[in-house]
Structure 1
């Protein structure tokens, strides 16, 4: 397979005119050349934090607090998840996964409620999907054993030491929510030496220092934090100290669109479009220990091809800014996920 256009190459997303040569699901070559194509070729997105099971209850719970919405075990989403039958749950997740693929996401990191059955349900939803998933079980170590690791709710909910030992012994991922509502659970979360943290809205100076010293990456979800009213994650401060990736969080509250997350982040913070695109691609891949997220030789050919001559993108003078701040699902020409 050969894909031509303006290619956002490598970690710098250097825009070059040319072609990407794909062989056996891998990028065999990135060739700079004059080509007759308006396409923009970039890595497929990596959504670093999702709760896809929430697809059964989109936009439910208007006016509720974050705790009333999502706190285990009796927050609204947990009650709705318990009440849903498996067929309904899987069908709703299939619809969200389809949208994610159509809007350029190639990989996602899922915190999957429901214990063992929750993990099995999302595996069923993924059966016919080309999306690459990192599914982290929750609630029981049994869920972790059949998943790709464990996704903890927060250090104020439980100690999670047993789950951390289990993931370490199994060489699987351990992620944990921290600093979403306040700062009280950040130090206990850091004490667990997690593979990554989620949110860190209320991080303070000591926490920044600990994150930098331990080199723990952070997945941030600015749209979710805004809609739940908990505040704004200190993205600029975190970026000075560690790898920061973007996630869309609960489908309950937000569409799982990385285009929307990138645009919101780029316009809310004083950071470059290039940095935001890294947050939406290679940073999420590295947070999860994966090799995707860049267009360069030897990488998996997980690519997003945009129509640079669409009504929305035609005339754009800066390809990176166009992808991050302007593009949307309607501009997607092709998503290549071998």
Structure 2
């Protein structure tokens, strides 16, 4: 397979004109040469934090607090999930996954409610999708054993020591929410030595220092945090100390669009477009233990091809800024996956 256009290469996303040569699902070469294409070729996105089960209740619960919306075990979303017909749940998740794929996401990290049954349900929803998934079971260690790891709620809800030991013994991922509502659960979460933290809205100087010392990565979801009115994560400060990736969080609250997450982040924070694009691609891939996230030889061919001559992108002088701050679903020409024929 040959993909032509302006290619945003490597970790710096240097723009070069040429071809990406794909062989057996891997980027075999990048050939710098004149081509007759206005396309922009970037890594497909890695959505580093999702709750896809919420697809059954988009925009539900207006006016409720974060705890009333999503806190286990009796927040609105958990009640709706318990009451949902399994076929309805799987079909709704499949629709969200289809949207994510169309909107340039190549891989995602899911905190999957519902124990073993929840993991099985999203696996069914993924049956016809080309997305690469990292599914973190919740609620039981049995779910973790079936999944790719364990996704914990805040450390104030449970100590999670047994789950952390189980994931470590199994060589699987352990991620945990921390600092979403206040700072009280951040130190207990850090004490577990997780593979990554989610949110960290209320990180204080001590927590930032601990993150830097431990080099624990953080996934931030700024649109979700604004919608639930818990505050804004200190992304600049976190990025100075550790790897930071972007996630879209609950489908109930936000469209799982990484275009929207990037634009919001780039315009709200003092971050370069390159930093934000790394948060949406390679940083999430590294946190999730995936290859790819960059257009470089030897990486899996998870690529997003945008129409650089669309009405929206035509005339863009800086392709990296255009991708991060301007591009959207209508600009997507194709999404290439390692399994694409």
Tell me the TM-score range normalised by the shorter chain: over 0.9
In 2, the alpha carbon distance for the partners of 1:285 and 1:185 equals 26
Q: CA deviation at 1:290?
A: 1.0
- 2:52 alignment counterpart: 52
Within 1, Cα distance between the matches of 2:231 and 2:223?
A: 10
Superposition pairs for residues 89-128 of structure 1, below 5 Å? Answer: 89-128=89-128
Whole-angstrom CA distance in 1 between matches of 2:116 and 2:198: 22
Q: Any residues of structure 2 matched to 1:180-329 within 5 Å, and which?
A: 180-329=180-329
- Rounded to whole Å, the distance in 2 between the matches of 1:31 and 1:50 is 35
Aligned counterparts of 1:304 and 1:54: Cα–Cα separation in 2: 26
Shift of 1:128: 1.1
Question: Can you list the C-alpha shifts for 1:227-265, whole angstroms capped at 9, x where unaligned?
Answer: 000000000000000000000000010000000000000
SS at match of 1:262: helix
Aligned to 1:135: 135
Q: Is 1:150 the counterpart of 2:136 in the alignment? A: no
Distance 1:321 1:127 in 2: 35
TM-score, reference length from structure 1: 1.00
Residue 6 of structure 1 and its aligned partner are, at CA, apart by 0.2
CA distance in structure 1 between the partners assigned to 2:240 and 2:63 by the alignment = 35
Query: Following superposition, which runs of at least 4 residues in structure 1 exceed 3 angstroms of deviation?
Result: none
Distance 1:132 1:84 in 2: 25
Corresponding residue number in structure 1 for 2:67: 67
TM-score of the two chains, using structure 2 as the length reference: 0.99
In structure 1, runs of 5+ residues without a counterpart are: none
Distance (whole Å) between structure 1 residues aligned to residue 133 and residue 334 of structure 2:
20
Q: CA deviation at 1:36?
A: 0.7
User: What is the count of residue pairs matched by the alignment?
Assistant: 338
Q: Distance in 1 between matches of 2:65 and 2:103?
A: 29
2:106 match: secondary structure: strand
1:105-148, Cα deviation, whole Å (9 max, x unpaired): 00000000000000000000001110000000000000000000
**Matched position secondary structure for 1:323:** helix
* Counterpart Cα distance in 1 of 2:134 and 2:237: 27
SS in 2 for 1:193: coil
Q: Which residue of 2 aligns with 1:80?
A: 80
Residue 28 (structure 2) pairs with residue 25 (structure 1):
no
RMSD between aligned alpha carbons? 0.4
**What is the rounded CA distance, in whole Å, between the counterparts of 1:24 and 1:141 in structure 2?**
36
Paired with 2:96 and 2:334, the residues of 1 have a C-alpha distance of: 18
